[in-house]
Structure 1
Amino acid sequence: MSATKPLQIDIVSDVVCPWCYIGKRRIENALALAPDVPVHVNWRPFFLNPWIPREGIERSTYLETKFGSVDAYKGIAQRVVAAAEEEGLSYKPDSVKRQPNTIDCHRLIHWADAIGKAPEMKQKLMELYFRDGGDLTLTDTLVQAAAEIGLDADDVRKRLATDEDVAKISADAKEASDKGISGVPTYVFAGKYAVSGAQDPEKLARAIRQVSAEINAEAAE
């Protein structure tokens, strides 16, 4: 009997997207509900706010630009904060003081993938931003985060000072947009079925099982 073919799951998301923060925990819970299904997860970049300059902007300026005012976001944030708490996560909107451009964050995730630590890198950056109000525009913040998950601090600092993988990350993010992905998180199963939004783990687990069964049935034909 042939071994079960692993299911490829591409997760398109951004580290400053609160529903991506919640969605990461939910897909992890979904995978725990389907432990018998072999999977291969790829973390794909997306720029929630591609207009943000590389140096970032003040959070208040960002909220005024995107939502009309800081107060307008507070009503929206309450629902997201509650959803995060339900997943055992902490989101403290008032602690975020600077809105970053996330290309360097995505570079770190890509580099961490080389040592099998992409999910840990992504989680670290999200926690820094949502829970701790960390400034992801600061090289020191990024270097420390990378070092804490096992990357070499000096190496990361040198690479961040270059344009290494900037073109690749930009191209990958453009590819997602070109494929029609506009809302994140989006989970793409086996390269052909997309589920958008931070769906419940049970729903995601059903999708994982269904698509895995389909691709393995096709492989057996």
Structure 2
Amino acid sequence: MERITIDVVSDVVCPWCYLGKARLDLAIAEVQDQIGVDINWRPYRLNPDFPKEGVDQKKALAEKLGGEERVAQAHKMLTDLGREVGIAFDFEAIKIGPNTLDAHRLIHWALIEGREKQDKVVAALFTANFEEGRNVGDHAVLLDIAEKAGLDRSVIASLLASDADHDLIIAEITAAQEMGVNGVPFFIFDQQYAVSGAQTPDVLANALRDIAKAKAEARSGLN
């Protein structure tokens, strides 16, 4: 069985990234009998200038998208797309537009414990923000998510209270931007092939099959 590593550049307040995760999960399920997939979640911040306490979500979105009518249109489209993949978006519940730096630090620390725990943290952050309206910039929320994912609450609390890995997260985001990532989600397969945007499960599954086939052919050519 071929194994493929996917680095997913994402922000936890990006609805397209949540869709991208759900669609990627479906794609992986489709090919799991033929291809093994390892996922690393990489940071990106859509709103790096937001203060630590966050902003008024409704006001910020209206300013960004050009008015409440456009926001409503975008939310309706995303809600319909989410329903197709089991996401119950509740945009009205989101009161705070958070600064996501600490959420990305938590995602980074979770990977140190293993990909399974990182995936649990990422999934919980998306759910908390988009389906429960919880502030994922709030340390209490982050600690709850960390503990439920199997991380040591006291260790994470100490890390969050410090500047640990702050510069590392910023450097990773800068490196992604210098590589050409200017929107998310962005999928990097085996550090060679890139797919941008929340593609459909079929597109992602076919990309996995094509890459696995190319790897198998390259290896057989060496024998």
TM interval, shorter chain, is over 0.9
Partner SS for 1:38:
strand
Matches of 2:111 and 2:100, distance apart in 1: 17
- 1:20 equivalenced with 2:43 (yes/no): no
Question: What's the C-alpha RMSD, in Å, of the aligned pairs?
Answer: 1.3
What is the CA-CA distance between 1:71 and the residue it aligns to? 3.4
Question: 1:40 deviation in Å?
Answer: 2.0
Q: TM-score, normalised by structure 1?
A: 0.94
Q: Using the aligned pairs only, state the percent identity.
A: 36
- Give the partner amino acid of 2:178: D
- Give the Cα–Cα distance (whole angstroms) in 1 for the partners of residues 39 and 136 of structure 2: 24
Q: Distance in 1 between matches of 2:182 and 2:46?
A: 9
- 1:32–1:135 CA distance, 2 compared to 1 (3 A): same
Distance 1:178 1:217, change over 3 A: same
Cα distance in 1 between the residues matched to 2:119 and 2:52 = 23
Uncovered stretches (5+) of structure 2, i.e. residues with no partner: none
How far did residue 146 of structure 1 move? Answer: 0.8
Query: Among residues 77, 97, 111, which one is paired with 2:75 in the alignment?
Result: 77
* 1:5, distance to aligned residue in structure 2 (A): 4.7
**5+ long unaligned stretches in structure 1:** none
SS at match of 2:24: helix
Q: Paired residue for 1:200?
A: 200
* Partner Cα separation in structure 1 for residue 36 and residue 12 of structure 2: 26
User: How far apart, CA to CA, are the structure 2 residues paired with 1:5 and 1:219?
Assistant: 11
Q: Which runs of 4+ in 1 moved over 6 A?
A: none
Aligned pairs for 1:133-172 within 5 A: 133-172=133-172
1:113 CA drift (Å): 1.2
Corresponding letter in the other structure for 2:17? C
| CA deviations over 1:180-221 (Å, ceiling 9, x no partner) | 111211111121211111111111111001112212322342
SS in 2 for 1:207: helix
Contact 2:103 2:137 in 1 (8 A): no
Q: Which amino acid aligns with 2:9?
A: V
Aligned to 1:10: 7
Matches within 5 A, 1:178-193: 178-193=178-193
SS at the partner of 1:215?
helix
Separation in 1, partners of 2:119, 2:175: 21
| 1:85-164 equivalences in 2 (<5 Å) | 85-116=83-114, 117-164=117-164
Partner SS, residue 132 of structure 1? coil
Match of 2:39 in 1: 41
Amino acid in structure 1 at the alignment position of 2:158: K
- C-alpha separation in 2, matches of 1:148 and 1:40: 22
Contact 2:105 2:165 in 1 (8 A): yes
Aligned to 1:56: 54
1:23 is matched by which residue type in structure 2?
Answer: G
TM-score, normalised to structure 2's length? 0.93
